[in-house]
Chain A
Amino acid sequence: MSTKEVTDASFADDVLASDKPIMVDFWAEWCGPCRAVSPILDKIAEEHAEKLSIVKLNVDDNPETAMKYGITSIPAMYVFKDGEVVKRVIGAKPKPALEADLADFIG
């Protein structure tokens, strides 16, 4: 897993204060679809590194942030811009579908 991990403690600095759009992948070890989508996100992050950052947040280890954003289904991929949620993508999807969802940020 190459994508950076963020935590409850680092969320404000790493995500809310990010100067470019940043997508948080809310995931957990026991979630099969999360494992499936993870390598796809790594690839998107690699291909669009200059436009969009992608980080991961483990919901088991960081329940505070997961609860704050009302996560009830994972994988949940939220894009933050200037500290606000600007896009929500829920559920594992094939790469072209995710790229279409993220077109505003990586297009």
Chain B
Amino acid sequence: MRQLIIIGSGPAGYTAAIYAARANLQPLLIASSVEFGGELMKTTEVDNFPGFPEGIMGPDLMTRMQQQAERFGTEIVYDDVTELELTGDVKRVTLGSGEVHEARAVIYATGSAYRKLGLPDEERLSGYGVSWCATCDGAFFRQKKVAVIGGGDSALEEATFLTRFADTVYLIHRRDSFRASAAMQDRAFADPKIEVIWNNEVKHIYGDEKVTGIGVVDTVDGTETTLDVQGMFVAIGADPRTHLVHGQLDLAPEGTIAVDGRSSRTNLPGVFAAGDVIDPTYKQAATAAGSGVVAALDAEHYLAGLEDAEKAAAVPASV
């Protein structure tokens, strides 16, 4: 049986793997089949990860983390976890392929999934003008009008990125101020192609084959406006990916996995959690990486404790 399995391949998962591998735990990391590398795989320049003064492309940063984890002996599997049994002393991880892996400890670092608006036509027009990835789809909106929904860092970053292609970017936010960082806001406000529409929510997405417009409603006075756009990019945040551990791990009121104080310890012995899945507040690549370190050190400590207990038990009782 393995010592440690790490689930997730974002900054938290890979950093945990780097530390655990260097501690000779020979971790197995389950990276996911298509979402490996996590959220940064969908970004362009990352300018706030320390050590890269010129900035670095998100996918390149993640490839480097992966290589660093592998350099010290992490084994990586590109598959998805379909089932987890975390309650016993032996943790069982079932993959999409049907393979089952067992370990004495698990680090759960699955990050979060994009939130949807929840509109009836959102799914139908997804990929036909409705998008969750500006860097993937932005180039198809050259000289067109698009809308970005949201008010956080990712919404403003997407809006700024889309001005490379689109003629007009409507930035639609349901409040009258942004949560995004000051640097992001300054950049967005200074951009002549970005038009901010405050206090508005999307109520309709129009289009048969593809998006032809959206209907927004003023949250203050109820006025409805139709915007003629060909693309809509949704950036209204993300929810922690906890569905695999429901009923096994306790959740915090925010929906993240509950951990003990500043540690990564969950309610189950031998199960640790790290990164965005435990963090309702900061959600940065650098904080996730730090959280991965905490989890690896906690897991190492836990495994050392098990070994000590076994050694003590193996000593014959003195007569």
Contact = CB atoms under 8 A, between A and B. Distances in A.
A28 to B, nearest CB: 7
B167 to A, nearest CB: 16
Contacts of B37: 32, 36
Given A35-B59, A73-B127, A92 B34 contact: yes
A72 B128 contact: yes
B141 A36 contact: no
18 contacts: A30-B135, A31-B136, A32-B58, A32-B59, A36-B36, A40-B34, A70-B128, A70-B209, A72-B141, A72-B231, A73-B127, A76-B127, A90-B126, A90-B127, A91-B126, A92-B35, A94-B32, A94-B96
Contacts of A71: 140
Interface residues of B, number: 30
Interface in B196-249: 209-210, 230-231
Contact of A36 (B34, B79, B137, B209): B34
Given A33-B41, A33-B133, A72 B33 contact: no
Interface in A49-93: 59-60, 66, 70-74, 76, 88, 90-93
Interface string B135-177: 1110111000000000000000000000000000000000000
A32 B42 contact: yes
A37 interface: yes
Given A71-B140, A73-B128, A31 B96 contact: no
Contacts of A31: 135-136
B132 to A, nearest CB: 9
Contacts of B35: 36, 92
B13 interface: no
A28 B135 contact: no
A107 interface: no
Contacts of B33: 36, 40, 94-95
A106 interface: no
Contacts of A73: 126-128, 131, 133, 136-137, 140
Nearest to B126: A90
A88 B141 CA distance: 20
Contacts of A92: 34-35
Per CB-CB distance, the 8 closest pairs between chain A and chain B, nearest first, are A90-B127, A32-B41, A92-B34, A94-B33, A73-B127, A72-B140, A36-B34, A73-B137
B129 interface: yes
Contacts of A70: 128, 209-210
A83 to B, nearest CB: 19
Contacts of B276: none
B80 interface: yes
A94 B44 CA distance: 23
A67 to B, nearest CB: 9
